[in-house]
A and B are shown apart, each in its own frame.
Chain A
Amino acid sequence: MEAATGTGSEAGFRARLRQRFRKWVNRRIPPSRSVTLDQKRLFIFPSGVGFFFVLCLFVMLLAAINFQNNLSYGLTFLLATLFVLAVLHTFANLSGLHIQAVRARPAFPGQQTEFELQVSRVKQREHFAVYFRFAEGSSARLNLVTEDSGRITLLAPVEKRGWHNPGRLRIESTYPLGLVRCWTWIDLDLHALVYPRPLASAELPGLATDQPDGAAIPVPGSDDFYGFRDYRAGDSLRQIYWKGLARGDKVQTKQYTAYADRSVWLDWEMFPGLAQEQRLSHLCFWALEFDRQGQEYGLRLPDQSIVPDVGERHREQVLQALALYGIDR
């Protein structure tokens, strides 16, 4: 028992230490949509290779002392100075980089979100082998040699519905000699939207029509084609009239009867007795399903409703409402 409490307090101490450190970093490098790296934000320390190099230098110094050989002294001192200079050059490799958050792509739990960053240089200086990584997720490498800016994409796995913050972005480099590591953690105030996990249910317990008092109507096949209209941004690719496009006509979208008169409502109340998360998951599944079928649908949640519509923009609106239900930013 005593031992257990001992490790517990030690873990607590560690956690406190980590928290204090995080606080300190937060004060030093506050969250911001764009950051320019400078001496206030960059940390620098010899890398493992650097320590190995120092060990080699020590052996070389011993050889110089024991053989009383001046040129060996000279070479050792030259390399020692090179090591010190590497600190400055590695620092310069990160300093003056401007990092800007571009966008965060929404994702479903279990998938990876994609964060896109724009990195540009403030001074006309070459930057090599700059690595970007979130604590969990993929890493990316960037060289800025001739071009002044570059885009990088980072993937991070997500689990929970809502806003996903990938934490601080670690930027590091050991260029040019690998002897020192220069790094920083910046908070780009990035938040990716995580949708609810879609959960299939055999059938919808009840479908509501446009009419508030309407009876449930079975899910239509929605195949009754009735005409074309001009393509609008957000229309599903499935409904594009490809043949016409191939003939050289303008982009048109095929319209089915379902769009016009048989819109459905997805309603919070369709799943009585289920927990909140489960309800959201089922609603999410059906929203995706209707979207796949090109069916017009609306969403009613206890605190808001989205009128029936179709298309990508609509889908995103619906999914966002589901993702953020009950969550305040």
Chain B
Amino acid sequence: MSKVKLEQQVPRNALVWIILALFLLVAPHVQRVPIWVLLVFAAAVVWRIMVYRGVWSFPRWPVKMGLIIAAFAGIMFSFRSLIGLEPTVALLLTAFALKLLELAERKDAYVLLFLGYFVILTVFLFSQDILIVLLCLFNTVIVTAALVALHRPGEHRFTFRPLRLASVMLAQSIPLMLVLFFLFPRIGPLWTVPIKSQAARTGMSDFMKPGDVSRLSRSGEVAFRVQFEGAVPAQDQLYWRGLVMSRLRGGAWSSLSHFAAPPDERRPSEPELVGEPLRYSVIMEPTQQHWIYSLRYGRSRDSGVVSAADYRLYRMSEIEDDYLYEVQTWPEAVLEPEISDWRRKVELRLPPDDNPRAMALAQQIASEAGDSREIVEQVLALFTEQPFGYTLSPPLLPERDPIDAFLFDTRWGFCEHYASAFVILMRAAGIPARVVAGYQGGEINPVNGTVIVHQFDAHAWAEVWHEGEGWVRVDPTAAVAPERIELGLEQALAEEGSFLADSPLSPLRFRGVNWVNQLRLRYDALTYRWQSWVTGFDSDRQYQLLTNWFGEFSARKFALVLLGAGLLVFAPVVITLLLQRKTVQLREMDKLYLRFCERLEKFGVARAAGEGPAQYGRRASAQLPRLEEQIGDVTNIYLGLAYAPADEEAAALKRLAQAIRRVN
């Protein structure tokens, strides 16, 4: 330490705070980094403590170089890449741990702690959950406390004192932070950034094979939350359209891409709007996908949201964070009363020679029935009358002619089986039809009236096209298991007991326990508020907010608002700091001396303004000769005290008090 300058020393207390911060910062990332990164952390801390105790020394530079190369190699080995968010975070954390081995001077500590703030930021790229954010806020306080401790030289023992100032300063920062948060212009990304997460995506994928939706049904995670402006429609009206799948290939359904359609088919035809629309806002959890959910027929005015030709909503950029959008829906609107030849061809296309028995059945029904509506009814009647069953764990279907096997042999399936079989039968019967995937229903939260749509509400149904009526929703699952639509999945699977089979600890499983359920719903309401105000805040929301508050918007107004808010926020802090205990604290010796002056005043010798103690003493002695000795003593002791060494001060004060008592 002798080589380090006085100002550059790291106080021992600060070292403890830094190590504490190190551990807390890695905590929210534990699940994302390889185990060896954590071991590097532990090893670095042990090494640094040994250095601190003087047992080991700091690593020399060849060792440090070796460690850095090893870290890069380790990341490469664990992730097979250095690019991407997870490898970057792992690299950051490793660098963070290794920097501790270099921590000798204060400037190293700055690098470490500023890196720490950055580590906190990376947590937000993965999760924006309130509890995680609270942990991160706490970590911010700890890092700041370490920074404060770094500047409190001479604190050799661990104390919590820096924590107080750090908390106070951060608390004082919050008002202006909020102002900046709501006013700072939200501009788009400056350059493309690596895909956020390599982790498995939950939610719908853009193609559907039998089994895909039932996989989702095992998850209790929230897919999105909806807040209606008026009353919530009935459960059996809550069909959240996400994907419209017109193409069947290799047994899997998928959407048409934008460019698969001829140019004049790429935009949806404007339907005639009937009646008052339903208005609602949706906050989606990140999906890393483009499609967004709405009731039909939905429109959104949010920037970046477009309608695809099959009337689904689509966002230009992937949904990587909580995403808030507003929708208007006209449930009665007639979609595409006239169908184009191209569209008809696409919605009738079937792979040749597949499922011969189903084809034969469909053609038979079609030849017997009068019109398309009758064909739909007959097929639905088939599902109701024949012994079809609804299950989350259907028997495996063969690769070849799976629909034949499902319709005539197994007859147990989940929504995707019914939707898929139904659409194939419709197409075989000559009716344009397609599969729609999305969510059905949702849980109404009595706390704030939002509709919570869970992953297990994932559903698939069909749309068929009728002459003059356009596209009409048909849900074949409802024919087999009406309770699925009216009461939700849990009731539909009550006998099977497979609801949330993969999530034994989900709070949703404890809906029977009242207080658990209350707690869950309250937390969910809080999450909704959090998402609508914080995590889902974007340029659209910002524009709305600002025009609501300040009317039409201009750059000048913006600057004035920012300035005014800044002043408003800082005024209290400045005032408290400057006026803090404005009263001057008198030193003990001055208090005693003033008492002495009061005594002399009683004898008729008041001290004049600006009169020094020596001069006053001389004058008082001349006027009160009988007290000359006492006055001299007091004056001498008082004057002596001004230069008394600290260890003699107490004794001198005592003598001063005694001398003053003798003045009477």
Contacts and interface: CB of A to CB of B under 8 A. Distances in A.
A and B bind = yes
B513 interface: no
B169 A71 contact: no
B580 A92 contact: yes
Given A56-B118, A81-B177, A178 B577 contact: no
Contact of B153 (A56, A65, A143): A143
Interface in B501-541: 534-538
Nearest to A75: B121
Nearest to B646: A151
Contact of B125 (A53, A65, A69): A69
A113 interface: no
B181 interface: yes
Interface stretch (B187-195, B325-333, B380-388): B187-195
Contacts of A148: 585, 587
Given A77-B177, A77-B180, A177-B144, A56 B117 contact: yes
B153 A68 contact: no
B491 interface: no
The listed residue with most A CB atoms (<10 A of its CB), out of B128, B147, B574, is B147
A52 B110 contact: yes
Interface string A75-92: 111111110111011011
Contacts of A325: none
A66 interface: yes
A128 B580 contact: no
Contact of B581 (A125, A175, A177): A125
The interface size bin for chain B is: 35 or more
A320 interface: no
A62 B189 CA distance: 9
A129 B153 contact: yes
Given A67-B193, A68-B320, A80-B180, A75 B151 contact: no
Interface string A156-187: 00000000000000000011111000000000
Interface in B543-596: 570, 573-574, 577-578, 580-582, 584-585, 587
Most buried by B among A65, A121, A174: A65
B350 interface: no
A231 interface: no
Interface of B: 6-7, 106-107, 110, 114, 117-118, 120-121, 124-125, 128, 133, 136, 140, 144, 147-148, 150-154, 165, 169-170, 172-174, 176-177, 180-181, 184, 186-191, 193, 196, 320-321, 534-538, 570, 573-574, 577-578, 580-582, 584-585, 587, 643, 646
Contact of B7 (A102, A128, A131, A176): A131
Interface size class of A (residues with CB under 8 A): 35 or more
A92 B321 contact: no
Contact of A75 (B7, B120, B154): B120
A179 B6 CA distance: 18
Given A56-B114, A129-B153, A143-B154, A70 B537 contact: yes
30 contacts: A60-B117, A60-B118, A60-B121, A63-B125, A65-B187, A65-B189, A65-B190, A67-B320, A68-B188, A70-B128, A70-B181, A71-B128, A74-B181, A75-B120, A75-B121, A75-B140, A85-B172, A92-B577, A92-B578, A92-B580, A95-B578, A102-B643, A122-B584, A122-B585, A124-B581, A125-B580, A131-B7, A139-B7, A141-B154, A178-B150
Contacts of B151: 128-129, 174-178
Contacts of A178: 106, 110, 147, 150-151
Contacts of B110: 49, 52-53, 178
B482 to A, nearest CB: 42
Nearest to B145: A176
Contact of B577 (A56, A73, A79, A88): A88
A128 B152 CA distance: 6
Contacts of B153: 128-129, 141, 143
B124 A69 contact: yes
A123 interface: yes
A72 B124 contact: yes
Residue among B169, B189, B587 having the largest count of chain A Cβ atoms under 10 Å = B169
A80 to B, nearest CB: 7
Given A77-B184, A81-B173, A177 B537 contact: no
Contacts of B643: 102
Contacts of B180: 77, 80-81
B562 to A, nearest CB: 12
Contact of A70 (B118, B321, B646): B321
Contacts of A70: 128, 181, 321, 534-538
Contacts of B124: 69, 71-72, 75
Given A49-B107, A71-B535, 11 more contacts: A52-B114, A56-B114, A65-B187, A67-B321, A81-B180, A82-B169, A84-B570, A85-B169, A92-B577, A125-B580, A176-B169
B192 to A, nearest CB: 8
Contacts of B170: 78, 82
A66 B191 contact: yes
B181 A77 contact: yes
A7 B125 CA distance: 55
B144 A71 contact: no
Nearest to B187: A65
Nearest to A116: B643
A236 B430 CA distance: 126
Nearest to B153: A129
A74 B538 CA distance: 13
A11 interface: no
B580 A89 contact: no
A207 to B, nearest CB: 40
B180 to A, nearest CB: 4
Given A70-B535, A92-B577, A175-B152, A59 B173 contact: no
A298 B191 CA distance: 87
Contacts of B582: 123
Contacts of A123: 580-582, 584-585
A67 B196 contact: yes
Contact of A68 (B6, B174, B321, B574): B321
Given A66-B191, A177-B148, A73 B169 contact: no
Contacts of B177: 74, 77-78, 80-81
A66 B106 CA distance: 32
A325 B106 CA distance: 49
Contacts of A121: 585
Interface string A123-142: 11100110100000001010
A139 B118 contact: no
A139 B9 CA distance: 14
Nearest to A173: B151
User: A60, A174, A176: which has the most chain B beta carbons within 10 Å?
Assistant: A176
A78 B191 contact: no
Interface string A225-248: 000000000000000000000000
Interface in A35-69: 49, 52-53, 56, 59-60, 62-69
Nearest to A95: B578
